[in-house]
Structure formats: structure tokens, C-alpha cells
Structure 1
Amino acid sequence: MDINGLNLSDEDLRIIANTSQFYEALLVAMREAQALPERMSWKTVSGADYLYEWRREAGQPKSRGRRSAETEALFSRFTSERVAADERIASISARMASSLAQYRALRLPQIMELPARILRELDLRGDLGVNLIVVGTNAFAAYEIEARERFARGLDETEDFDLGWCRGASIALQPAEVRTGRLVGSPLFSALKRVDSSFRLNKARPYQAINNNGYEVELLTAPSVMKTLSASEVFSTAAIPEQEWLLLGRPLRHVVCARDGTPAPLVVPDPRWMGLHKLWLAKKPTRRADKKDKDARQGELLLSAVARKMTPAYPMDVDFVLSLPAELLDEFNAWAARNKFVPGKTGARQWW
């Protein structure tokens, strides 16, 4: 297997960085706009004018009171804030669209349109990296950017979308008191319905949602974070021991382009643990046979990319090797033997 990929050029990296910068600025602007009512208007009831507001998640408009100096000022303030917010969003969106067009033309790491829409919705709601991380094939676009190399070409296509529950784990991006607070409802299912109302739970696989086109989204949960699921979570997820490995180390975040030219934020597990997890999955007896070869190739290429291009941020040194559970230590030793890799001392160069 050829482990060497195509290096991203300085121009590629500049466009990737610009796309990320514009997206993160747009996310801030969108969240600020989301804090405002979607609209406000006056309504005459029994001969008197009342100010009503409509919000994104509310089913019915809410009255803010009868027309008065106070409600007039509230309406005026809302109008000016809404105009300013819309102008910020339009300005940033225009610059981001130009950057995304360049990104797409250069065929830099991409994912499909629907998972990109789901990820933007989760990010806007504050769930991405806090409650959920991307744990399947879609994660490899982020790993390619981190490695500054196209090493997974041909292995980044997928017709399903796997998300791991991470609330309460050490890798989650919020303080512990926020992570461990109890939730209401299902963050993932709510986002899915917002993106595509045809999503429904698969009765045969209650950890999976499926839409009218047969696109599957799965919620995978490690035993240690089962307790942080909402009491009203609609997905029925079984504890999957091997998901624990994907909650270790240091996750990474990158913004990529979707096939339709829209942005897609990705928060993905530590690439070392993901690579070993993929190699282990390829040998799991209950793993679908049609996925095992892809798992093995992804794991092999990802670990090699980590060793060549992702240190010292993700060292595969003696300390890392000593932290591995027995199942993954076997996979690491086999991979190291195939690739003539010798773990160095902590902080030392590890690949030769």
C-alpha cells in the first residue's frame, strides 16, 4: 500500500485557512442573530396595537405588550439590530462564498451535502464538539487537512453518517459543569428534523435515523457517557465499549467544503486513536464484511499520516504506546512492524 499522499500546497493551505476564518466569523454572527427574534410586528387586537415577536424554535408568537413608549423603543432597537446582523451575515457570507469556490475548484478535502447541513445545524445549536463528534468516514477530510496531505482519496465516500456522543467526556469543548448538566430532548434528532423533516427513527435499528432517500445517521455511545444522555432521548443507543477509545486524546476541528460549495465544520477524534480503532474494527467478528477492507486501509493510511505529518501535536511515542489497551496495542505493534516504525522517547523524533 502506498502510504504517501499528495501534499497540500501553500496556496491550498491559505484557502483552507481563509475558509475556516470566514466560517467561524459567520458562526458568531449567526449565533448573535439567532439570539434576536426572527421578526417583530404590530398586531391590532380589540382596537389596540400589541407588539408580537417570533422566535426560531417557538411554535407561536409571543406578545411583548401593548403599544407604548417602551414597546416602541423595543421594536426600534430590534429593527436596527436585525438590520445590522443581516448586513454582517451577508458581508461575511459573500467573502466565504468566494473562498469556498476556490476550495471546491482545487478539489480540496470535501464531504457530501447532507452531512454538511447537519453539521452546520449542530454547530449553530452549540452541540458540535460539546455533545457530538464525527466518528465515521466523514472525519477523514479533517485528518487530511491536519496532515496537510491528501492521503485518503478514494476512501472518503460514504452513504451514512456516524456521530459519537461525547457529553461529559474529557474531550468535550465545554466546562465540566456544562457538560454534565442534564439535557431535555434529543439534540441530534431535533437537528435532523430541522434539516430534513423526513428523518425518522429506524424501528429495526433504534440507534439510527433514516430519511426518505434512505440516508442513515447513527448515534454511537460509549458506556462512560451513557448517563449524560437526556432522559427523553429518542435514540435507543446501546453502550459500545470500543467507542471509549474515540473519547481519548485530543480531538481536532477543521472546516471543509461540501460538494455543493457550502461550509462543513468537523470535530473529530484524536487521529491516533481513530487510526487504531479502524484497524481493530477491520478484525471485529461482527463487523459488516463489506466495511472491513475499507476500515483496514483507512486505519493504515491514517496512522502513517500521523507518524509522517502530525507530530509533535499527536506523538506516537513510548508514553502513548504504554497508554494503549491490550486490544489496540496488538494493532499498533502489527502496524509498527509493517511500517518499520519505532516509537521514540517522549518529545523525540519518531519516524525514520
Structure 2
Amino acid sequence: MKGQSLRERLRSSEVNLLEKFSSRIEVVERLRPALIIVGLLGAMVAAFARLDSGTLGFVLTVIGAVTALVGGTLAAVLDYRKLEIGREAKDAHALADEALAQSEAAQLALSSVTQAAETLDQKRRQRLLAIEQMVEAVEAGLIRKADATTTAEAMLRRSIAAIRTSVDYVASDFFTVTIFRKDMVGGGELMQRIAAQWTDPEKAAAGGRSWARGEGFTGVAWNNAITNRFGDVIEDDTTKPHCRSQYPVKSIDPEREALYKSVAAIPILVGGTNDVWGVVTATSSRVGVFKRDTSNVTVQNVEMIRDIARIAALLAGLER
């Protein structure tokens, strides 16, 4: 029995029970003919006793009737017990099977919850590591008196592995993290890319767009933050109909836009008045990576991007 699973032990017990039950039934079946014969003999004795109307005949009639009654009753009892034992054995094993199935289902559910908790804990630890690496990069920039662009690039480069692990990233995703800074360009303000880490280096090297206020996910986050410091942009599925009108883009490139199916754009706020210094925008080619649902563990994905924005606010100090 050692080393066998509970279900294997149950099956073994069931086989043993059936074997014992079969042997008992065999004994009962062998005994039944004898009991039937006894009953018939009793009936015959009672029948022949009627030929004698005296005391002997009466006594034999009683003896024959009692013998027939006992033989028939015992045969009936054995038949009933045979059926009862079989039914009880079947019910017991059905109940054991049900209990075992419930136990296995509970164990599977517990295993799933445990695995989810372990995954979330790993993501949490990677998020803390990413924060530490970004802060170290900013501190190094302050010591060397590097500019914001150089420090932003170092900040993302050092922490990108931990950032990807801390969010719901898989190897097949096209995942981007970009830091934009508000700059004056041609007499107007634009959000210009100063640092980026994309999973496709070729696309990253091709350069990114600059965004006007109110244009695209980045521009809308910028515009929202002017009147609402919590005016970030979180879209779990950018293929929804409202996204095209809510986040207008000039000169749309459908092939490229198709890579941005889930987006988190978090404003970078500085100073006591929460001036908009820039925006951190993260995208994924997979729907559902960034969500506002705080009951969902994937909310940490958004919080990781928010952490980048908080630390990127320190970059403003390098420009002063």
C-alpha cells in the first residue's frame, strides 16, 4: 500500500471488497438450496401428517409448518442481506469517490492560488528591484551632473529587465517603455522622447513620435494632468471603438498602431503645483496588460509605470 495514491488504495479496497462479497455470495448461494430443501421437506411432512387425524398427525403438521417457515425465512433473509450488503458497499465507495474528487478539486484550487501568490510575490520583488535600480541611476546622474536625457536613458537601461519581470510580460510581447519630456519646438510645446526601452531594438532605433497636447495617449495624459493630477490614461484594450476618437492621432500608421493594444500613460509631475514635466508611456501588443481594476493583481503593472513616473520627476532637478 505504501507509495500508492489515495485513489489507487480506494480501487484496491474496492477490488478486495468485491472479492470478499463474491465469496460470501457463493456461500449463500450454496446454502440456499439446502434451506429450500428443508422448507420443502417441512411442507411435505405437514402435508402427509394430515393423513393422521390424531395427536401424531397434529404434531407432525406443526413440525412441518415450522420447518417450512424457518427454511423459507432464512432463505429470504439471506437473499435480502446479500442485496443490502451489495448496496451498502456500492454506496460507500460512491461516497468515497465523491469525497476524493472534492479533495482533489480543493487541492487543485489551492495549488492554483499558491502559484498565483508566488507569481505576484516575484513580480513585487522585481518591482522593488526596478525602483532601487532607477533611483541609483538618478543618484549617479546627480553626482556626475549629467543631463536629464543621459540619466533617463541610464535609468531605463539599468532597470528594464526588472520592469518587464514585474509586469505581465511574456517573451512574445512587443513591450515598450518611453519617457517623454515637454520641450519647446518651433514655437510650440511638444512631448519629445528622451529615453526608451522597446523589446524590438530595430523599431526603437527608428525613433518615436513627438506628441502635441491632446494628441494620442501621451498627449491626452498631458492634457488631463493640467487640470487633474490623477488624469492618467489607462486602456486595457485600444481596439475598442472609443479609442480612435478619444485619442486622436495624425497620420496614423495602422501597422505600428496595431502594436499598441494596451497602454498606460502616466504624467510626470514636479514642484508644489504639480507642473507637467513629461509623461511615461508604456505599451503592450497584448490586450489586458494595463487595467484600472484594483481587484485584479495585474494592477501592479500600472503601478510599476507609475513608479517610473515618480522617479523620473527627479530628472527635473538635473535641469536646474
Normalised to the residue count of structure 2, the TM-score between the two structures is 0.24
**Which one has a larger percent helix, Structure 1 or Structure 2?**
2
Higher RCO, Cα 8 Å, sep 6+: 1
Normalised to the residue count of structure 1, the TM-score between the two structures is 0.23
Rg larger in structure: 2
